[in-house]
Amino acid sequence: MLELKKNYSELAPTERVLLGAGPSGVDPRVLRAMSTPLLGHLDPEFIGIMNDTRDLLRYVFQTENLLTLPMSGTGSSGMDTVLSNLLEPGDKAIVAVCGVFGERMVDIAGRTGAEVKVINGEWGRIIETEQVEAAFNEMPDAKVFAFVHAETSTGILQPVEDIVRIAHEHGALVAMDCVTSLGGAPVLLDEWGIDAAYSGTQKCISCPPGLSPISMNAKAQEALHNRKTKVPSWYLDLTMIERYWGQERFYHHTAPISMVYALREALRIIAEEGLEARWARHELNAEAFAAGCEAMGLKPFAQEGYRLPSLVTLWIPEGVQDAAVRQHLLKEFNLEISGGLGPVKGQIWRVGLMGSNSTRKNIMFALTALCSALNAQGFKASASAALEAATAVYDAAGK
Name the average pLDDT for the chain.
97
> Phi and psi (nearest 5°) for 42?
-120, 10
On the question of pLDDT at 346 being above 90, the answer is yes
Q: How far is CA 314 from CA 42, 124, 166, 292, in A?
A: 47, 11, 32, 12
Give 39-64 pLDDT, tens digit per residue. 999 999 999 999 999 999 999 999 99
The answer to whether 187 and 62 have CB atoms below 8 angstroms apart is yes
pLDDT exceeding 70 applies to what percent of the chain?
100
First to last CA, the chain: 64
| Model pLDDT, residue 380 | 95
On the question of pLDDT at 145 being above 90, the answer is yes
State the DSSP code for 222: H
State the DSSP code for 342: G
| Model pLDDT, residue 132 | 98
Q: What is the CATH number of domain 28-271?
A: 3.40.640.10
| Model pLDDT, residue 126 | 98
| Model pLDDT, residue 364 | 98
Residue type, 319: G
Mean pLDDT on 130-146: 98
| Model pLDDT, residue 358 | 98
As a whole number of angstroms, the distance between CA 302 and CA 123 comes to 8
| Model pLDDT, residue 123 | 97
Mean pLDDT is lowest, of 11-20, 69-78, 194-203, 242-251, for 242-251
Sequence spans of domains, the chain = 28-271, 275-396
Give 215-228 pLDDT, tens digit per residue. 999 999 999 999 99
Cα 164 versus chain centre, distance:
20
| Model pLDDT, residue 399 | 86
Mean pLDDT on 21-34: 96
As a whole number of angstroms, the distance between CA 73 and CA 211 comes to 5
| Model pLDDT, residue 232 | 94
Cα 165 versus chain centre, distance:
23
Confidence of residue 273 (pLDDT cuts 50, 70, 90): very high
Give 79-106 pLDDT, tens digit per residue. 999 999 999 999 999 999 999 999 999 9
pTM score, whole prediction: 0.96
| Model pLDDT, residue 5 | 87
As a whole number of angstroms, the distance between CA 217 and CA 84 comes to 16
What is the architecture of the domain spanning 275-396?
Answer: Alpha-Beta Complex (3.90)
Give 156-179 pLDDT, tens digit per residue. 999 999 999 999 999 999 999 999
| Model pLDDT, residue 94 | 98
State the DSSP code for 223: H
> Phi and psi (nearest 5°) for 314?
-135, 140
Residue type, 386: A
